[in-house]
Amino acid sequence: MTFYRSNNSKRVLPGFGISLGSSLFFISLVILLPITGLVVQTAELSWAQYWAIISDPRVVASYKVTASAAAVASMFNLFFGLLMAWILTRYRFPGRVLLDGLMDLPFALPTAVAGLTLAAVFSTQGWFGQYLALWDIKVSYAWLGIVVAMTFTSVPFVVRTVQPVLEEFGPEYEEASATLGASPLQTFFKVILPEIKPALFTGTALAFTRSLGEFGAVIFIAGNLPWQTEVTSLMIFVRLQEFDYAAAAAIASVVLLVSLVLLFVINGMQQRYQHITGGPK
């Protein structure tokens, strides 16, 4: 990678200086500056105070609730998203375009609306909840509710990352595998899965990261019982309501750090894979 423009090539967009400068300016304004603010606020605390806040037993309980629910939600979306992407790319059926559009609904719908609706549907009197109650399964105002809300809001990530890869990946690879004597299962695990694995992994990791920070949809359905169904973003909100900005920033910094580490891991893996396959064609 070169950092400067080569001298004798003309580009469509004018001015490397202007375009990079304005991009960096806005990145600073909307991303770097708020993060700095977070760090500055956290810096009011000593290390001991910082550690005490982020290792408070109730907060640690919220980490566990959030991480476990996010893990289950993203695992579910791994399979569901793969299935949806497969159906949308490999089959032509009436209503396909509608279904394709519906996949983006969780992005477009206000998360509070999603949370309210899900809470109503899964409450013990709700459409689904009343039948689940027969088996003693409680979703609304329980840990499972958090999983449901997180699953709903992060559906598009896996679908939308896997879909383009599957579309690019023509049927001739499956056909080649079949002519070489492979069974459909062998073709899936040895040919298709390795090809979509990076996208699948990226999508799942993105869904996980998104779920870690999900607030709007979750608080309506979670019930928010201390120690049991409090998510980390709620803890941040609670500290804010107590006007304890430093503590809120401290907890937020933990979420931020985990998300950043995950993002860098995803990027690193993608680059490694592109090196092998020569990048997307």
Partner 1 sequence: MSISIEQVSKRFGDFVAVDNVNLAIKTGELTALLGPSGSGKTTLLRIIAGLEQADSGRIHFNNQDITGQHVSERGVGFVFQHYALFKHMTVFENVAYGLTVKPKKLRPNKAEIAKKVHNLLQLVQLDWTADRYPAQLSGGQRQRIALARALAVEPKVLLLDEPFGALDAKVRAELRRWLRRLHDEIHVTSVFVTHDQEEALEVADRIVVMNKGAIEQDGTPEQVYDHPANPFVYEFLGNVNLFHARVKQGQSTIGNVKLASPEHSNGDEQAGFAYVRPHEIDVFKAPLSDSLKVTLDLVTIVGPVARLEVLSDTDQQLIHIELPKEQFKQLQLAQGDIAWIQPRYSKVFLGEGI
Q: Which spans of this chain sit near partner 1 (rule: CB under 8 A)? A: 170, 172-173, 175-183, 186, 190-191, 194-195, 273, 276-279
Closest CB to partner 1 among residues 101, 279: 279
Closest CB to partner 1 among residues 201, 220: 201
Shortest gap between Cβ of 272 and partner 1 (angstroms)?
12
Shortest gap between Cβ of 202 and partner 1 (angstroms)?
15
> What's the residue count for the chain?
281
CA distance 26 to 23: 5
Shortest gap between Cβ of 190 and partner 1 (angstroms)?
7
Q: What is the 3-state secondary structure (H, E, C) of the chain?
A: CCCCCCCCCCCCCCCHHHHHHHHHHHHHHHHHHHHHHHHHHHHCCCHHHHHHHHCCHHHHHHHHHHHHHHHHHHHHHHHHHHHHHHHHHHCCCCCHHHHHHHCCHHHHCCHHHHHHHHHHHHCCCCCCHHHHHHCCCCCCCCHHHHHHHHHHHCHHHHHHHHHHHHHHCCHHHHHHHHHCCCCHHHHHHHHHHHHHHHHHHHHHHHHHHHHHHCCHHHHHHHCCCCCCCCCHHHHHHHHHHCCCHHHHHHHHHHHHHHHHHHHHHHHHHHHHHHHHHCCCC
Shortest gap between Cβ of 184 and partner 1 (angstroms)?
9
Shortest gap between Cβ of 170 and partner 1 (angstroms)?
8
Closest CB to partner 1 among residues 17, 181: 181
Closest CB to partner 1 among residues 128, 273: 273
Shortest gap between Cβ of 74 and partner 1 (angstroms)?
23
CA distance 178 to 52: 59
Shortest gap between Cβ of 171 and partner 1 (angstroms)?
9
Closest CB to partner 1 among residues 2, 179: 179
- Contact predicate 218/211, CB 8 Å: no
Shortest gap between Cβ of 280 and partner 1 (angstroms)?
11
Closest CB to partner 1 among residues 46, 179: 179
Closest CB to partner 1 among residues 80, 188: 188
Closest CB to partner 1 among residues 44, 167: 167
Report CA torsion sign: 16, 17, 19, 21. positive
